[in-house]
Amino acid sequence: MKLAAKYNRVTLIASIIVFLFTGVIYYSVIHYILTGQLDKDLAIEEDEIAAYVKTYGKLPLAGSFKEQKVSYHLIDPNHDFERRYFYNDYFNESEQRIEPGRSLIRTIDVKGKLYSVTVTKSRLEAEDLVRIIFLITLSVTILLLITLLLINRFILNNIWKPFYGILLQMKAFNLADKNDIRIEPTKIDEFAELNAAVATMSLRVKQDYRELKSFTDNASHEMMTPLAVINSKLDTLIQTETFSDSQGELIEDIYIAVGKLSRLNQSLLMLAKIENNLIGDQETINLDELISQKTRQFQELLQSQNLNLKTELAIKKINMNKHLADMLVNNLLSNAIRHNYKGGEIFIQLNDSQLTISNTGSAAALVVNKVFERFYKNAASEGMGLGLAISNQICNLYHFKLNYTYQDTKHTFRVSF
Amino acid sequence: MKILLIEDESSLRESIITYFTDEGNICETAVDYRSAIEKINIYSYDCILLDLTLPGGDGMEILRAIKKINKKDGVLIISARHSLDDKLDGLNLGADDYLVKPFHLSELKARVAAIVRRKSYDGNNIINFNDIYINTQAMSVKIGENILALTRKEYDLLVYFIANHSKVITKSAIAEHLWGDEIDLSDHFDFIYAHIKNLRKKLVEAGCRDYIKSMYGVGYKFENV
């Protein structure tokens, strides 16, 4: 939910509650005041009737005029009662209709006879007044709410503009990029502070990154040098004397381990490099030619495993870093060879939209969602489990899609351009 | 041939010198930037082996210095920096080759031999070992007068062997030389054996002596018998 929407919702609900509440109070107060006024009028009328009775010893004429109606009833003297006000509906003769009214009823003694006197006044005017006041209040309220919404929409969007600006820049922020985050000046303190914080943060991150990068460079160098020493010492060692078979095997194992270690180191560096987008220099590469060249390079290996290689290559040009293209094809193809059995098959298909390499191999599928993770490998694999992770990173870098499927005992890796 | 090794890591220096110093090779060393610059200015070498990270300065600066004084010495960069930029920079600056650490000494020697051969003034395209004559320009091999038909890999293998004759070469060094180091071939060494067997057979059939000696577990040795 957007901040503006959330804010709108909250203000809307709060204003509606407040307006409803005040509306109720407002209505009751006005109603109370108007009723008080009516009651006062009724009392004046009552006083007039009483004065008339006192003066003339008889009741004034009953009747109805304008908004007022007076009526008398002879009652049993034993049923005397207190005067009281009440609401009722009465028949307004001048308007010829039933109207809501407010009445005062009391008893009055006229020469020993007890009469009840009812004075009724129309409430219609008061009701109309209340209604008009209510309508005006309602329309003002609605107008106010609409204004509030509009203000929120336009002003808020405007006010938040610097925020979206900096957000856009943060999204586009790339460590490897040379240019820093540009700050657009804003008059709002909070955003100015945010901008400043983001700018310092990006600078610091870049600084840390540079240090880390030089650290990895140095670390690789520091690790490669001892490896080079081990390798060269082994090369020197094997020149010295003839070794027994078991010594020879030991030395070979050391060679293999050193080779693995240096390849591992290089792979990790390469992964870091691709992830940080530190590979530049794209060029147009004839993928079909590259694949043919690679299959020639692996020819002896294919023959020694008795692998049957079938290719279907359409001409495909692609914009990539040459080294990475080489590495991608190399990894996929060497995997297809390595994880195959003697006399197995490899099928490479290249068309304009995708490159498919499928091979026979172990009878079980690889774990689809783990296959591109670093150091994932099945028990039989002697590799390091980085080849596919690197291939996947290369594909991500160029927005290709690399996926794996297993069908009819064939493992298939597909790069969709 | 005369070689200058510019390398600060002493044990690596020793191994390289030991490997190179025989059969009349002269191998001099420089351990830092200053002494390297001094030697370059005074002497000429067939090949300079240059490490990029040195105490006192960047190896690239040494390369620039060599090119600035118009020295024709061959330059082979040996560096632990695998970064492509360094490789390209080095080659653009006029280095003849770039070898990433760790490397096999046999690979280093083969590369140096190739650089020296290319740089030699008399246009020496012939590699000779006893009765084997290899013309590197035409990529043809003769045993005495017999022309030997070799595949590309067998040819590379023979050149590699001769560059490292009398040395034990490991199977992994051979595999990396022939197929590159991008693929880990350590579980497929047996097919190297097939190549060596073929080469040996062709050489012997052409009337050549059997120079290739198998060192069990370790590798192979090409030597005069």
pLDDT tens-digit profile of A197-231? Answer: 988 988 898 888 878 777 776 777 678 888 889 98
Q: Is residue A81 packed enough to be buried (19+ CB in 10 Å), middle (13-18) or exposed (0-12)?
A: exposed
pLDDT at B6: 93
SS3 state at B165: coil
- Residue A149 has what pLDDT? 84
pLDDT in the model for residue B122: 62
pLDDT mean over B170-182: 82
Assign a CATH topology to domain A3-155.
Beta-Lactamase (3.30.450)
Averaged pLDDT score across all residues of chain B: 85
ipTM of the complex: 0.86
Query: Do the Cβ atoms of A238 and A251 come closer than 8 Å?
Result: yes
User: Which pLDDT score, from 0 to 100, does residue A178 have?
Assistant: 67
Specify the higher pLDDT residue, A77 or B223: B223
Q: Identify residue B196 by its one-letter amino acid code.
A: I
Output b/e per residue, A20-48; b: 16+ Cβ within 10 A: eeeeeeeeeebeeebeeebeebbeebbee
Whether the CB of A252 is below 8 Å from some CB of chain B: the reply is yes
- pLDDT higher than threshold 70 for residue B186: no
Q: How confident is the model at residue B183 (pLDDT cuts 50, 70, 90)?
A: low
Select A283-416's CATH number: 3.40.1280.10, 1.10.3720.10, 3.30.565.10, 3.40.190.10. Answer: 3.30.565.10
Instruction: Rounding to the nearest 10 degrees, give the CA dihedral for residues A214, A216, A221, A222.
Output: 110
Q: Å from A5 to nearest chain B CA?
A: 50
- pLDDT (0 to 100) of residue B143: 87
pLDDT of A238-264, one tens digit each? 888 778 888 888 888 888 888 888 888
Torsion angle, CA of A187/A193/A199/A202, rounded to 10 degrees? -150
**Positive or negative, the Cα torsion across B78, B79, B83, B86?**
negative
Confidence at residue A412, expressed as pLDDT on a 0 to 100 scale:
92
Q: Residue A415 pLDDT more than 90?
A: yes
DSSP A175: T
Per CB-CB distance under 8 Å, the chain B contacts of A243 are 215-218
Q: What percent of chain A has pLDDT over 90?
A: 11
- pLDDT tens column, B133-153: 888 888 888 888 888 888 888
Give me the DSSP letters along A116-165.
Answer: EEEEEEE-HHHHHHHHHHHHHHHHHHHHHHHHHHHHIIIIIHHHTHHHHH
Q: What is the pLDDT of residue A413?
A: 93
Q: Where are the domains of chain B?
A: 2-119, 126-222
Q: Tokens standing for A246?
A: 């078991």
Question: Residue A381 has what pLDDT?
Answer: 64
pLDDT at B148: 86
CB A323 within 8 A of CB B84: yes
Contacts with A262 from chain B: Cβ below 8 Å: 102
The whole-number pLDDT of residue A99 equals 84
For β-strands B140-143 and B132-135, DSSP reports them as: antiparallel
Q: What is the mean pLDDT of residues A345-367?
A: 88
Tokens of A91: 């028949």
Does domain B126-222 sit in CATH 1.10.10.60?
no
Strand partners, A98: A91
Q: Which residues of A touch B195 (CB under 8 A)?
A: 300
Whether A283-416 and A3-155 are alike in CATH topology: the answer is no
* Mean pLDDT of the residues in chain A: 84
Domain locations along chain A: 3-155, 191-275, 283-416
Backbone angles phi, psi at A328, to 5 degrees: -60, -50
As a whole number, mean pLDDT of residues A55-77 equals 82
**Residue ranges of B 80-109 with Cβ closer than 8 A to chain A:** 80-84, 100-106
Whether the pLDDT of residue A157 is over 70: the answer is yes
> Residue length, chain B?
225
pTM over 0.80: no
Residue-wise pLDDT tens digits, A5-42 = 888 888 888 888 988 898 888 888 988 998 899 899 98
Q: Which residues of chain A have a CB within 8 Å of the CB of B172?
A: 255-256, 259
- Superfamily assignment of B2-119 in CATH? Response regulator (3.40.50.2300)
